[in-house]
Structures are given as structure tokens and as C-alpha cells.
Amino acid sequence: MQILRGKSHDLGGFAVRRMLPAPQQRMVGPFIFFDHFGPATLAPDVAMDVRPHPHIGLATVTYLYEGAIMHRDSLGCAEEIRPGDINWMIAGGGIVHSERTPASLRGRSFALHGLQCWLALPDAHEDDAAEFFHYPASDLPQLDVAGARLRVLAGDAFGRRSPVKVHQPTLYVDVLMPAGSGIAVPEEHEERAVYLLSGELDIDGNALAAGEMALLRSGECVLRATRDCLLVLLGGQRFGVPRHIWWNFVASNRERIDRAGERWRNRDFPTVPGDEVEFIPLPEERSA
């Protein structure tokens, strides 16, 4: 079992821990980007304001445990996400969106805690038309397994299927495990990982601490909570063609990323209705 510890960054009021991509593991199934933000209590004069920015070649998924985020995109979608819901945005050949603290929470303290992930799109879907879907918490399958409470966020697990539109076999499950409980992670997914948000977890005799991600070996793996645990399972089918990632772009080759960068620099992406003025400029330097 390999453990990833990620890097934590302060974004002016709340911390973000980035687990993927990591030097030792770029992807887990289709997951190519994994951020854990919070938990934090934001002061009345602090808000989350992620200005309009572009994406290609990926699907974004935001999942909250506390707080609320207002999503707006260049398709004209405007949807506030709250704990337990799924906001699922398929960038395809290109989309622009912003993520901001809703007006109802501005000017007062509020808690913010959640996950944001990107899933790379397979070759055949890189240039698909952009789409956005909102799935309320009530639409997501919930079940109890050996005392643990599970919600299937995307893909298939434990005999249940999420309604979220995925493009290849995917594993994404929210799990709350009381101390002393144990579950076996399904074996049908080629690549699997566990990220522990809080608590202490034992994986086949190996300890996992909060803020760490474990890459699971093939075959059956048993998770046991030594303290109350909040965790997610993630993974799916291995990508046959490696993905390139730079800034907000994911692609099967660097030329696609270069073209997307030029489009953004030249302001050739569509604007976001209701959020047309501000935008995040293209970074001056590109990493290798």
C-alpha cells in the first residue's frame, strides 16, 4: 500500500490540501485532480471568489460537507450547491465557469468544507459539447454496510449506481464509519484509493491518518475504523493514454493544451452570463 500525503496551501482564510496529481501518482482511474478544502470557518469579511476561468478535457465534481458555493458557467447555468449535492460539469472542448460564495452567506461567518475533483475524459469525449448537471443529495444512492453509511457519488459500488453521467467505469463513494466498523472495498475497479478526511483508519493492518490518501493493492482490501472516520473511495478504470495537465486544462496531447491557452489569452472562450467582468488571466509561465 502506497500513501500520498499531498501539499497544503492557505488561500486567505481556508486551507486546501492537494492530493492529485502527485509526483508518485498522477492519476487514480479517471481522477487527475483532487483537492480537499477546509474545514474552516470564514470570517464575515472573507468569501470564496474563484473568478471565471476555462476548462477542457475533463469533468469537474464539487461535493460539500459544509457551506455553499454558487456555480455559474458559460452555458448559462447558475446553481447553488449545498452539502450532499453533486455539481457535475463536463468541459469537453471548452467551458468557462466561476465559483463564489452565495450572496446569502456574504457578510457573516460560515463554515466551508468539501472536495473538488477533476476526472479526465476518454479520447472519444475530449471534444464533446460542454454540459452541466446538478444532482440533489436525494438522487444519490445511500446504503448501510456493516454499520457504515455510504453514498455513491459517481459510478458503481456495492451493487448501487449513481445517476451522475460518467464516461468510463468510476468509483466515488462518500463513507462515514463509526469506530469499530469495517468494510471491504469492492474489487471490480481496476484502480482504487482511499482518502481520509477525519479520524483514524486501518487498512489491512496499515494505519492511515487524516489528510492522507492510500493507493490500494489489487484484490480485497478491508477498512477498519479505529476512530470515527469520514472518508471517500475513488478510482475506476486505468487510463490507457497518459493525460497532460496544465493550469485548468487536461488533454491527451500538449497541442490541445497549447491551443486552449491561446484561445483563453485571445478571449475566444465564451463569457459567463451574470459574471462577465472579471476573469483569471492565463499564467505567464507553463510548467513542464
The residues near 190 (Cβ < 8 Å, ≥ 6 apart) are 29, 169, 235, 236, 237, 238
Query: Which three-class secondary structure state does DSSP give residue 32?
Result: strand
Q: Give me the half-sphere count of Cα atoms (radius 13 Å) on the Cβ side of residue 175.
A: 32
Give the per-residue pLDDT at 288.
44
Predicted local confidence at residue 118, as pLDDT:
98
Instruction: Give the C-alpha separation, 279 to 272, whole Å.
Output: 10
pLDDT score at 215: 97
- Band (pLDDT 50/70/90 cuts) for residue 13 is low
Rounded to whole angstroms, how far apart are CA atoms 192 and 121? Answer: 18
pLDDT above 90 as % of the chain: 92
Q: How far apart, in whole angstroms, are the C-alpha atoms of residue 22 and residue 5?
A: 9
Query: What b/e sequence results for 158-178 when a residue is b if at least 16 CB atoms lie within 10 Å of its CB, and e otherwise?
Result: eeeebebebbbbbbbbbbbbe
Model confidence pLDDT, tens digit, residues 123-157? 999 999 999 999 999 999 999 999 999 999 999 99
Q: Is the pLDDT of residue 224 over 50?
A: yes
Distance CA 156, CA 144 (A): 15
Kindly report, residue by residue over 56-110, the tens digit of the pLDDT: 999 999 999 999 999 999 999 999 999 999 999 999 999 999 999 999 999 999 9
Average pLDDT, the chain: 95
pLDDT given for residue 186 in this prediction? 87
pLDDT band at 187 (very low <50, low <70, confident <90, very high): very high
pTM of this structure: 0.96
Peptide bond preceding 39 in cis form (omega within 30 of 0): yes
